[in-house]
Amino acid sequence: MAAQTVGVLALQGAFDAHAASFREVGVKARQIRRVADLDGLGGLMIPGGESSTLLNLMADEPWFDGLRRFHDQGGVLAGTCAGAILLSREVRPQQPSLGLLDAVIERNAFGRQVDSFEAPVDAPALGGAVEGVFIRAPRFQALWPEVDVLGRLGDEPVLVRQGRVVAATFHPELTRGLAFHRYVADLARTTQGARSTPRSNRPRTQPTP
């Protein structure tokens, strides 16, 4: 497998910007429009957009099976915003998701008044503060103990990792910073072929009602 090649799911959303960021960190990036295109990739980025629209577009092909298999076989999956929603275990309001990240996530959770905003994310794992662009952003309501918080906005987790799954509720691809893409690319290079870790059912924090 060419682990240095990453894919960007190119069904909807800011996939061009992600591909450009990967190329800037010296990684080959391919736009992925078919399940069969996942072959040979070390990692896949699922971009932001609108998760319900993305789900509709994914109905044409067995994407859920294909992405779960990709993960099982050692591929890294990263998601930003709508991508993070798709990766999570439980979505509020309820909608189908891959369930590869043990998190409860709520869509559009910052309310209409603060539809979009920019704020620094404190992310020591990425080398310090990164610029965060939040657009109709979701919010993690609960994280299982296996999930590591890599970045926070105030107290709030906004960048998390569980094994080979990385999820951000903001849009790193819309800023000039490359730390997020470098991190994902490094992960795709170093964890290739790793086996899935067992997942538990115990929530770290109870979801708020």
Which residue in 78, 85, 123, 159 binds ligand GLN (CB under 6 A)? 85
Verify whether residue 50 is a known catalytic residue.
no
Give, for 97, the enclosing helix (H) or strand (E): none
By CB under 6 A, the residues from 125 to 144 that bind ligand GLN are 135-136
81 touches ligand GLN by CB under 6 A:
yes
Specify the residue, 53 or 200, whose C-beta has the smaller distance to ligand GLN.
Answer: 53
Query: How far, rounded to the nearest angstrom, does the alpha carbon of residue 187 sit from its chain's CA centroid?
Result: 13
Which residue in 7, 42, 43, 48 binds ligand GLN (CB under 6 A)? 48
In order of 20, 28, 93, 98, 138, the CA distances from 86 in angstroms are 22, 24, 13, 6, 11
7 touches ligand GLN by CB under 6 A:
no
Please choose, out of 46-54, 121-129, 150-158, 173-181, the segment that lies near ligand GLN by the rule CB under 6 A: 46-54
Residues 6+ apart with CB under 8 A from 16: none
What tokens appear for 170 in the block?
């903001």
Of the candidates 81, 90, 106, 181, the residue annotated as catalytic is 81
Specify the residue, 3 or 135, whose C-beta has the smaller distance to ligand GLN.
Answer: 135
49 touches ligand GLN by CB under 6 A:
yes
**CA distance linking residue 204 with residue 135, whole number of Å:** 26
Cβ-in-10-Å burial (0-12, 13-18, 19+) of 104 comes to buried
Which residue in 18, 30, 89, 107 binds ligand GLN (CB under 6 A)? 107
Q: Please name the residue ranges forming H helices in the chain.
A: 15-24, 51-58, 63-72, 82-87, 179-190
Which residue in 12, 31, 108, 191 binds ligand GLN (CB under 6 A)? 108
Verify whether residue 118 is a known catalytic residue.
no
Of the candidates 18, 71, 171, 181, the residue annotated as catalytic is 171
Active site residues: 81, 171, 173
